């Protein structure tokens, strides 16, 4: 007979009696009249678990809906398995590859005989109809945990060679995977209890493939609506083409390179690609400068996208073109901390455009363009006050201003500057490396790992505190940065194929320091799970000019 015990349910702030071995779904069924959500997963002792998780000892449990970050991830991964099942049923012999998130959805390709197969409208309709049938049948996602060697045999039999290659480097004795009506797949995270939870979705033709759309970020009763991101798409696909040329599309193939001792060549090629990108952008800026425009280069991007190093690397290329770059950081135009706007939670909103002194900034820009000498402000992050330390700037012959900060693409920032005098660069770590054909590395995870390492090294901030702040940062980006990214004249992808292997040894010890008894533990554990797929890569061969040095240290640039 199962032992009676109590769990603490955070949703209702009560202890609840259960029988040992009850699943989270069974427990929720008895509590659903007190909880006004339909959970798709739950947080158990600050770790996200699926609803089939059996409880055998006292736990703290919080049921999570699809409107939470963890719940949305479960929804999207579950929807991806339904898509895989639908393609498997309707077009056997076609390989499904889910590349990355873009345009409010997830970019999906059909691969046949190693080449991209352009889908027709009829094919998309057929797959979408089959997805709806699978969802309406409310088929359970069955979780399995078996010996890794047996999981490898299963995936090999099913033709999922990308997963076979990934698991070749796994150090885990057991591997978790799911089956849907007998079809097996594995995902970076948990899945929903059954397909009936996934009522909201859409599938549309998009570029060379399809766009899978999940629940809306603002209205979960409707699928997200696609947005135009032609420039972001090109930046992504340029790097996907690069990945294909060098033969590294997923983590398994990257680990092959590491195991074979070929990481130095990979680093050299990836760094050369960055240099080439900066050179091409500099050439276009120089051309516009010579034609009488482009006096100001605005370099923007979300947190930890490498804006600062991008401005310095771009400055070097402009000097090679006989221009004299002078760099301004928007951070120095923060208003005094006491005057900083507050967000919905009452915290200082440093992501807000109005955290900057726009009047002073535009005054100084106009004065510099007019040839005047300006005393530049410095923001003291310790005191929260603006200071003037005698740093003066004046533009001379062939001078060009480089302005770095998250709001560079927002028209309101430089409203008083004529458009023809501005050139906008958008930098972001657009991660194009996949874990396998059905699991991608989220760009936001790449940036968060960069920020965790940088915050600890340069600001004395713990991984826990960085994770706690991250959702606020992301909300600010959605409001203040992403809506303007298509305003860019050039888009720079700051990601490096090898960087997660390098960051693994920096980030894992910091993530292990996050206590088990705090909410941030769930995110720390998830990031550790992501890094576990990667073999470690030594940072010794990374050049001192590398953008990654902005986060790891050892840069030849002064920050």
Hey, is 247 helix, strand or coil? coil
How many domains is the chain partitioned into structurally? 3
207 with 302, same domain: the answer is: no
Tens digits of per-residue pLDDT, 500-535? 999 999 999 999 999 999 999 999 999 999 999 999
369 alpha carbon, distance to own chain's centre: 37
Contact 377, 392 (CB under 8 A): no
- Assign 3-class secondary structure to 429-477: CCCCCEEECCEECCHHHHHHHHHHHHHHHHHCCCHHHHHHHHHHHHHHH
| Of the residues 49, 65, 81, the one at which a domain ends | 65
| Of the residues 207, 227, 247, the one at which a domain ends | 227
Burial of 10 (0-12, 13-18, 19+ CB in 10 A): middle
Hey, is 263 helix, strand or coil? helix
168 with 291, same domain: the answer is: no
30 with 113, same domain: the answer is: no
| Of the residues 209, 227, 245, the one at which a domain ends | 227
481 with 497, same domain: the answer is: yes
Q: Which two tokens stand for residue 467?
A: 């994770």
Tens digits of per-residue pLDDT, 50-76? 999 999 999 999 999 999 999 999 999
128 with 52, same domain: the answer is: no
In a domain, 305, yes or no: yes
In a domain, 363, yes or no: yes
In a domain, 274, yes or no: yes
CA distance 184 to 507: 31
In a domain, 559, yes or no: no
Calculate the CA dihedral of residues 77, 78, 82, 87 and round it to 10 degrees: 10
60 with 77, same domain: the answer is: no
In a domain, 390, yes or no: yes
- Assign 3-class secondary structure to 332-369: HHECCHHHCCECCCCCECCCCHHHECHHHHHHHHHHHH
In a domain, 473, yes or no: yes
Hey, is 426 helix, strand or coil? strand
How many residues does this entry show for the chain?
559
Beta bridge partners of 23: 54
Hey, is 485 helix, strand or coil? helix
400 with 472, same domain: the answer is: yes
CA distance 559 to 309: 8
24 with 101, same domain: the answer is: no
329 with 400, same domain: the answer is: yes
Q: Give the domain CATH number at 41.
A: 3.10.20.30
In a domain, 557, yes or no: no
Each of the 559 residues of the chain gets a pLDDT tens digit; together they read 467 899 999 999 999 999 989 999 999 999 999 999 999 999 999 999 999 999 999 999 999 999 999 999 999 999 999 999 999 999 999 999 999 899 999 999 999 998 999 999 999 999 999 999 999 999 999 999 999 999 999 999 999 999 999 999 998 999 999 999 999 999 989 999 999 999 999 999 999 999 999 999 889 999 999 888 888 888 888 888 888 888 899 999 999 999 999 999 999 999 999 999 999 999 999 999 999 888 999 999 999 999 999 999 999 999 999 999 999 999 999 999 999 998 887 888 888 999 999 999 999 999 999 999 999 999 998 899 999 999 999 999 899 999 999 999 999 999 888 899 999 999 999 888 999 999 999 999 999 999 999 999 998 999 999 999 999 899 889 999 999 999 999 999 999 999 999 999 999 999 999 999 999 999 999 999 999 999 999 999 999 999 999 999 999 998 8
CA distance 377 to 512: 39
30 with 102, same domain: the answer is: no
CA distance 375 to 389: 8
506 with 540, same domain: the answer is: yes
What interhelical angle do 121-136 and 69-90 show, nearest 10? 120
In a domain, 11, yes or no: yes
151 with 295, same domain: the answer is: no
Domain that holds residue 205: 70-227
Q: Give the domain CATH number at 283.
A: 3.40.50.300
Contact 404, 329 (CB under 8 A): yes
Q: Give the domain CATH number at 208.
A: 3.30.980.10
């Amino acid at each position: 007979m199962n032992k009676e015990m109590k769990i603490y349910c955070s949703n209702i702030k009560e202890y609840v009696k259960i029988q040992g071995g009850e699943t989270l779904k069974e427990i929720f069924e008895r509590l659903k009249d007190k909880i006004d959500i339909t959970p798709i997963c739950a947080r158990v002792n600050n770790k996200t678990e699926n609803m089939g998780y059996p409880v055998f000892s006292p736990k703290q449990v919080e049921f999570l809906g699809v409107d939470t970050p963890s719940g949305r991830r479960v929804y999207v991964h579950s929807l991806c398995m339904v898509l895989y099942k639908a393609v498997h049923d309707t077009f056997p012999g076609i390989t499904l590859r889910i590349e990355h998130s873009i345009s409010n959805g997830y970019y999906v390709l059909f691969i046949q005989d190693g080449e991209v197969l352009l889908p027709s409208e009829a094919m998309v309709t057929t797959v979408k109809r089959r997805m709806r049938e699978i969802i309406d049948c409310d088929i359970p996602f069955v979780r399995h945990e078996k010996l890794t060697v047996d999981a490898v045999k299963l995936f090999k039999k099913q033709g999922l060679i990308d997963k076979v290659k990934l698991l070749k480097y796994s150090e885990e004795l057991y591997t978790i995977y799911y089956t849907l009506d007998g079809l097996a797949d594995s995902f970076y995270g948990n899945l929903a209890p059954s397909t009936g939870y996934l009522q909201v979705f859409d599938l549309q033709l998009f570029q060379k493939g399809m766009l899978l759309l999940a629940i809306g970020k603002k209205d979960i009763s409707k699928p997200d609506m696609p947005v135009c991101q032609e420039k972001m798409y090109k930046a992504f696909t340029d790097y996907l083409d690069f990945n294909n040329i060098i033969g590294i599309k997923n983590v398994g193939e990257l680990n092959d390179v590491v195991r074979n001792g070929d990481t130095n060549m990979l680093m050299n090629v990836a760094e050369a690609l960055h240099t080439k990108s900066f050179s091409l952008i500099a050439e276009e800026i120089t051309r516009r400068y010579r034609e009488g425009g482009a006096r100001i280069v605005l370099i923007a991007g979300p947190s930890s996208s490498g804006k600062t190093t991008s401005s310095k690397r771009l400055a070097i290329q402009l000097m090679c073109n006989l221009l004299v770059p002078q760099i301004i950081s928007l951070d120095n135009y923060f208003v005094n901390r006491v005057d900083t706007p507050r967000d919905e939670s009452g915290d200082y909103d440093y992501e807000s455009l109005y955290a900057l002194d726009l009047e002073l900034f535009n005054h100084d820009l106009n004065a510099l363009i007019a040839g005047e000498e300006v005393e530049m402000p410095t923001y003291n992050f310790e005191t929260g006050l603006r200071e003037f330390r005698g740093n003066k700037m004046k533009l001379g012959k062939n001078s060009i201003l480089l302005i770095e900060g998250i709001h560079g693409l927002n028209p309101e920032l430089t409203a008083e500057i004529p458009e023809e005098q501005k050139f906008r660069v958008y930098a972001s770590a657009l991660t194009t490396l996949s874990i396998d054909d059905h699991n991608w590395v989220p760009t936001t995870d790449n940036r968060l790992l960069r920020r965790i390492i940088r915050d600890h090294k340069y600001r004395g901030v713990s991984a826990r505190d960085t994770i706690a702040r991250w959702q606020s940062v992301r909300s600010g980006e959605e409001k203040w940065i992403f809506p303007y990214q298509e305003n860019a004249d050039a888009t720079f992808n700051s990601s490096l194929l090898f960087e997660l292997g390098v960051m693994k040894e920096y980030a894992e010890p910091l993530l292990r320091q996050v206590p088990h008894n705090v909410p941030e533990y769930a995110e720390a554990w998830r990031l550790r799970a992501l890094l576990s797929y990667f073999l470690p890569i030594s940072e010794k061969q990374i050049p001192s000019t590398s953008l990654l040095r902005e986060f790891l240290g050892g840069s030849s640039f002064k920050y």
